[in-house]
Each structure stands twice: as structure tokens, then as C-alpha cells.
């Protein structure tokens, strides 16, 4: 419905604002030369029929891998609420047409003591009908991966609903 339209863009903006407060850098600033290495693996879309209904639920599964490299925490402002829990990442799933928010999740990437990869399997469930109706002629939805801790490392991935 029209009441939930454009929530995708609004939810996607919150981590950007938190990044501005945390790092003190504005949105169009240059990315640091020693930024993190980010890889998405096995992005897959599945559809399942809900039990005892005609309603389908969609799922996007992906493997998120990050290697922080030379990125140090000293490029951030410290706050009283900062407990050293890690660096925030938000993944938002939505539609281009209407800007419907299908689902979102947030998690923290721990600051490693060494230069190793950190991995997380992510599964986002969403309403298949809303996604399909608002996916446009190409049949795609959008997945935004927003990193609150560094400029220039955000990703926007078009995910096809077609099999």
C-alpha cells in the first residue's frame, strides 16, 4: 500500500547518518586508500509456499565476507555508547518501483587483531508478492549493503527474482 512506499530509502539513510556522526566525514567524501575488501558470495533467491495458504515467501541468501585490512578504528570519533562491539553493517532489501522496504538486518563486524577475513551468512525473508509486483519489467529487487564505519565501501546489488 501507499503508506509503506519509500521506506526503503528512509531505512537506507539511517546508517549513512550514523556514519557521518561516527567518522565526521560527509557522504561525498573520498574513500580511504586502505579501505576494506568486501565480497558477496552465493547470492541466491528462493521462493516457498506458506503452509495452508496461497501466499509465497521469498528468501535472499548470501555470504558476506570482509577483510578490514589497514582500516583502523582511529579514524572514528569515540562516543560514550561505543563499547567496542565492532563496526556496523546494514543490509536493506527493497524495490526500485515504489521504494518498498522488503526486509533489513544489521550486524557488527568485530575489529580483528590480525588481518583475517570475517564471514557471515545472511538470510532475508520477504513478501514475494510485494517484491514481484514492484520489481519492474526486469524483475529485480535491490539489496543495499551500507557500512557505517567507512566511506566508499557501500554496495548496491540488483537481485533477479526470475529463475
pLDDT at residue 148, as a whole number: 79
pLDDT tens, 57-111?
A: 999 999 999 887 765 544 444 444 444 556 889 999 999 888 899 999 999 988 7
pLDDT bin (cut points 50, 70, 90) of residue 161 is very high
pLDDT at residue 139, as a whole number: 92
The answer to whether residues 48 and 71 touch, using CB atoms and an 8 Å cutoff, is: no
User: Rounded to whole angstroms, how far apart are CA atoms 156 and 121?
Assistant: 18
pLDDT at residue 54, as a whole number: 83
pLDDT at residue 26, as a whole number: 56
Tell me: pLDDT of 160 over 90: yes
pLDDT tens, 30-60?
A: 666 677 888 898 899 999 988 878 889 999 9
User: Rounded to whole angstroms, how far apart are CA atoms 28 and 151?
Assistant: 8
Instruction: Look up the pTM and report it.
Output: 0.78
Q: Distances from the Cα of 109 to the Cαs of 18, 48, 86, 87, 90, in angstroms?
A: 15, 30, 5, 5, 11
Cβ atoms within 10 Å, residue 71: 21
Amino acid at each position: 500500500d501507499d503508506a509503506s512506499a519509500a521506506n526503503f530509502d528512509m531505512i537506507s539513510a539511517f546508517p549513512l547518518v550514523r556514519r557521518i556522526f561516527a567518522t565526521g566525514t560527509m557522504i561525498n567524501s573520498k574513500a580511504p586508500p586502505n579501505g576494506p575488501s568486501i565480497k558477496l558470495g552465493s547470492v541466491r533467491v528462493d521462493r516457498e509456499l506458506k503452509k495452508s495458504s496461497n501466499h509465497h515467501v521469498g528468501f535472499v541468501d548470501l555470504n558476506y565476507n570482509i577483510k578490514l585490512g589497514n582500516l583502523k578504528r582511529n579514524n572514528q570519533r569515540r562516543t560514550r555508547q561505543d563499547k567496542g562491539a565492532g563496526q556496523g553493517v546494514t543490509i536493506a532489501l527493497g524495490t526500485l518501483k515504489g521504494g518498498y522496504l522488503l526486509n533489513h538486518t544489521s550486524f557488527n563486524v568485530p575489529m580483528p587483531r590480525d588481518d583475517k577475513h570475517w564471514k557471515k551468512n545472511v538470510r532475508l525473508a520477504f513478501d514475494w508478492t510485494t517484491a514481484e509486483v514492484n520489481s519492474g519489467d526486469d524483475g529485480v529487487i535491490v539489496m543495499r549493503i551500507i557500512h557505517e564505519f567507512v566511506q566508499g565501501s557501500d554496495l548496491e546489488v540488483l537481485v533477479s527474482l526470475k529463475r
